[in-house]
Structure 1
Amino acid sequence: MTASGISPSAVEAFSQRERERFLARNPKSVALAERARHSLYGGVPMHWMADWSTPVPLFVERAKGARFYDVDGHEYTDFCLGDTGSMFGHSPTPVARAMAEQAERGLTTMLPGEDAVVCGELLAERFGLPYWQVTATATDSNRYVLRWARAITKRKVLLVFDGCYHGTVDDVMVRSRNGDTVHRPGLVGQAYDLTQYSRSIPFNDVAALEAALAQGDVCALLCEPAMTNIGMVLPEPGFMHKCRELTRKYNSLLIIDETHTISTDIGGCTQLWQLDPDFFVVGKPIAGGMPCGIFGCSAPMAEAMQQVQQGGSEDNPGHGHSGMGTTLSANALAMHCMRANLEQVMTPAAYAHMLPLAKRLADGFRELINKHKLQWSVTELGARSEFQFCAVSPKTGAEAEAAFHDELQMALHLYLINRGILITPFHNMTLCCPDTSADDVDRLISTLNEALTELLAIPGARE
């Protein structure tokens, strides 16, 4: 018996049946997978696209709103939404229109246009920080903000929470193990010791936070206001404000990454909870699915950044290559799409639609867990909710990871996919968008109920 309460043998029997069903149902995806393996590493354009629960990749033909369609003609209700990249639905009409408009007016010029000014004003109004920069991804934003933090504080150590998610910035690829910082398992090709200048501590642990900051060498705490990639982990009451208090006490900066938690509120947790960061980062949803990232800074940080650029020393002459920016950062197409998304898509009305549906979904998950007498829990935050294979919602990344049951999770995901429903891979997180309907939510709940009923009916499932 596993911690999930369901035997491995039952999960495997259930999974095998669903794998066979997928292969029979998706001949065109199977054929494309065979074709792709001769030219694409792992048969996919990015290797993690092969990590879904399907026996071969599911190939998509088109997507719109809360729906996508595969090459075999099946329709899916999408609760993954590009893992937040399409948080406001696939190809929102205003963003699609903006792309068409800008396509004839130039895609990238290395020069700003009026859209950039409007976006800066909208971002300042929405998120409360006065100054903004535009990048290609949230990874880039986090990488550049870290450079600024180190330059401003003249400190080198970055502090992160165990199980954090900040894209593929090298410095965040660490975990906390028995009080020590170690490299994240599975890290490929790492040439230098990340633990020299990165420190990882448990989320929601105020004592560990103060002990880490008290060493006096931390340039910044980079954190999500709620963890979302190791499994959803919410902050304990007052914890995020303690992060602000202690970073100020020990002269470290606070960087809030809301690339996922922006689904909580139109101003993110930062505005909703009044977190008052020095820097603020958002990535993939900010331009409606167009690759784009942003970071904002407070007025004191902007002044300090200017001093860094203008200041001179033997080590930092104040000119030359900053190590920040790519040629396609803030390109004209991305700026026009971001403006359309901020003005017409990422609106109070969108959140007013999404949030109650996510609550309905979380309540439905709880009813299912009670109905089937499972020792599982549900965590919800804004438009997100997740069912987790532990009796009490986790408080740290380590607790969330301990609740993983990869085989069971993938079996349930594949059952849903075979019946036209997609949720986020790697864990059981769902996201509602402005095009999601109450019927969509109810269908997910009823289909998951069918999956659990069938799984638990296998002889020995509860042994």
Structure 2
Amino acid sequence: PSAASSAEMSLNSMTLAVRVRSRNSPANPGREKILVFNGCYHGSVDETMVRLIDGKPVNRPGLAGEFRDLTRTAKVIEFNDISALEAALGDKDVACVIAEPVLTNSCMVLADPGYHDALRKLTRQAGTLLLIDETHTISTGPGGYTRKYGLDPDFFVLGKPIAGGVPASVWGMSDDVASRYADYNRTKEPGYSGMGTTLSANPLQFAAMRAALEEVMTPENYDRMDHLARRLDAGLTGVIDRYRLPWHVSRVGARVEFICAPGPLRNGAEAEVAHAPELEAAIHVALINRGVLIAPFHNMMLISPATTATQVNRLITAFGAVAAKLGA
């Protein structure tokens, strides 16, 4: 990515990469908090396991064995809310904002026009670092959403898609942040500090990354994936319109999702309400009965370099048959 002038690899997960780069960063000392967005997903990084309930930040339900109040060191706000972002950064106690370019952990939420520009402007004004996590959006194009839409983060993190699903991660940082790290390393006291990396940088990871970068994540493949994703988006939208279903389709690059609620969605709270597990499960079974299997992770469909136009058309046809029964 253009924003990452200094890069390192490879930890064995996106979780570790996010944790290393956001937590107690010597590039932004003296600030104890991070900021995340309601409904986000960044692996199992502790401080990201927070959410909003009735507008109040709390630990996510179901965190087995977690006895700490994670909101003491984390702030959580709604995506696309510039006023909330400005207020959260106003105390100047946030070391790093961790952001997905698009919320993907529930029903997909796209950024409002101008939101990422505001995010970058406000973090700079507050002296807060910005980490963009592209693990779920690298399918947008070469360099991910960051390159395609000209984002300018301080940190760029990418998980196992860079290795075709093999546990791996890479990250990059701006020249300014790299310089701060170098200054810190020259003056810090001797001693060990960091993440254990016993299983990191192994030959399998690097072989998988090289294969993904050289043979899979090519401009030609991205162009083809984007073309088919546009076809899928248009086809599913046409079906929804034909049967007047109160649904919509959301897409970023090669990632497409039909959502069983009106849209577009603007934040994590709206995405949670839009999620309809029983209906979605019934649709998935109905599609399987018609010879089509989509990802069991809600309604996400990802076009790959191996996907064919015939398969996309078959999915649209099967979706149309299911929608006809529901519409009746």
Tell me if both proteins adopt one fold, taking TM over 0.5 as the criterion: yes
The residue number in structure 2 matching 1:247 is 123
| 2:230 aligned to which of 324, 343, 359 | 359
Confirm or deny: 8 A CA contact 2:244 2:327 kept in the other structure.
no
The residue number in structure 1 matching 2:304 is 433
Q: Displaced runs of 4+ in structure 1, greater than 6 A? A: none
Confirm or deny: 8 A CA contact 2:6 2:172 kept in the other structure.
yes
Give the stretch that moved more between structures: 325-334 or 248-257. 325-334
The residue number in structure 1 matching 2:288 is 417
CA positional deviation for 1:177: 2.8
2-structure distance, mates of 1:399, 1:285: 28
- Structure 2 vs 1, CA of residues 388 and 150 (structure 1 numbering), >3 Å: closer, same or farther? farther
The residue number in structure 2 matching 1:113 is none
CA positional deviation for 1:389: 1.7
The residue number in structure 2 matching 1:155 is 31
2-structure distance, mates of 1:151, 1:304: 5
- Three-state SS of the structure 2 residue aligned to 1:449 is helix
The residue number in structure 2 matching 1:27 is none
- Three-state SS of the structure 1 residue aligned to 2:68 is coil
2-structure distance, mates of 1:336, 1:320: 32
CA positional deviation for 1:244: 0.6
The residue number in structure 1 matching 2:93 is 217
For structure 2, the residue ranges without an aligned partner over 5 or more in a row are none
CA positional deviation for 1:147: 2.6
| 1:198 aligned to which of 74, 88, 91 | 74
- Structure 2 vs 1, CA of residues 216 and 253 (structure 1 numbering), >3 Å: closer, same or farther? same
CA positional deviation for 1:447: 1.0
Aligned residues: 327
CA positional deviation for 1:150: 6.0
1-structure distance, mates of 2:315, 2:232: 8
1:320 aligns with 2:320: no
Q: Residues 224-263 of structure 1: matches in 2 within 5 Å?
A: 224-263=100-139
Identity of aligned residues (%): 47
Q: Residues 66-85 of structure 1: matches in 2 within 5 Å?
A: none
CA positional deviation for 1:452: 2.5
The residue number in structure 2 matching 1:172 is 48
Structure with the greater alpha carbon radius of gyration: 1
CA positional deviation for 1:151: 5.7
- Structure 2 vs 1, CA of residues 346 and 127 (structure 1 numbering), >3 Å: closer, same or farther? farther
2-structure distance, mates of 1:242, 1:151: 22
Matched residue type, 2:23 = R
Matched residue type, 2:309 = A
The residue number in structure 1 matching 2:246 is 375
Confirm or deny: 8 A CA contact 1:127 1:268 kept in the other structure.
no
Confirm or deny: 8 A CA contact 1:278 1:297 kept in the other structure.
yes
Confirm or deny: 8 A CA contact 2:3 2:173 kept in the other structure.
no
The residue number in structure 1 matching 2:204 is 333
Give the stretch that moved more between structures: 283-292 or 159-168. 283-292
Confirm or deny: 8 A CA contact 1:149 1:253 kept in the other structure.
no
Matched residue type, 1:370 = D
Matched residue type, 1:395 = R
2-structure distance, mates of 1:168, 1:436: 31
1-structure distance, mates of 2:193, 2:287: 47
The residue number in structure 1 matching 2:179 is 303
| 1:145 aligned to which of 9, 21, 36 | 21
Confirm or deny: 8 A CA contact 2:37 2:76 kept in the other structure.
yes
Question: Cα RMSD (Å) of the superposition?
Answer: 1.6
Confirm or deny: 8 A CA contact 1:132 1:294 kept in the other structure.
yes
Matched residue type, 1:355 = D
For structure 1, the residue ranges without an aligned partner over 5 or more in a row are 1-125, 458-463
CA positional deviation for 1:153: 2.9
CA positional deviation for 1:179: 3.5
> What are the superposed Cα offsets for residues 282-323 of structure 1, whole Å, 9 maximum, x if unpaired?
0111012222111111111112122333333xxxx3x32222
- Structure 2 vs 1, CA of residues 264 and 162 (structure 1 numbering), >3 Å: closer, same or farther? same
The residue number in structure 2 matching 1:451 is 322
1:131 aligns with 2:6: yes
The residue number in structure 2 matching 1:397 is 268
2-structure distance, mates of 1:269, 1:289: 19
1-structure distance, mates of 2:74, 2:292: 39
- Three-state SS of the structure 1 residue aligned to 2:122 is helix
Matched residue type, 2:63 = L
- Structure 2 vs 1, CA of residues 284 and 418 (structure 1 numbering), >3 Å: closer, same or farther? farther
CA positional deviation for 1:127: 4.2
- Three-state SS of the structure 2 residue aligned to 1:163 is coil
> What are the superposed Cα offsets for residues 21-78 of structure 1, whole Å, 9 maximum, x if unpaired?
xxxxxxxxxxxxxxxxxxxxxxxxxxxxxxxxxxxxxxxxxxxxxxxxxxxxxxxxxx
The residue number in structure 1 matching 2:61 is 185
> What are the superposed Cα offsets for residues 179-214 of structure 1, whole Å, 9 maximum, x if unpaired?
321111222221211010011000000000000001
> What are the superposed Cα offsets for residues 243-298 of structure 1, whole Å, 9 maximum, x if unpaired?
11000000000000000111111111111111111000001110122221111111
- Three-state SS of the structure 2 residue aligned to 1:360 is helix
1-structure distance, mates of 2:65, 2:89: 30
Confirm or deny: 8 A CA contact 2:237 2:249 kept in the other structure.
yes
Confirm or deny: 8 A CA contact 2:3 2:151 kept in the other structure.
no
2-structure distance, mates of 1:198, 1:417: 41
2-structure distance, mates of 1:392, 1:385: 14
- Structure 2 vs 1, CA of residues 150 and 303 (structure 1 numbering), >3 Å: closer, same or farther? closer
2-structure distance, mates of 1:434, 1:414: 26
Matched residue type, 2:286 = Y
Matched residue type, 1:439 = T
CA positional deviation for 1:152: 2.8
2-structure distance, mates of 1:292, 1:419: 35
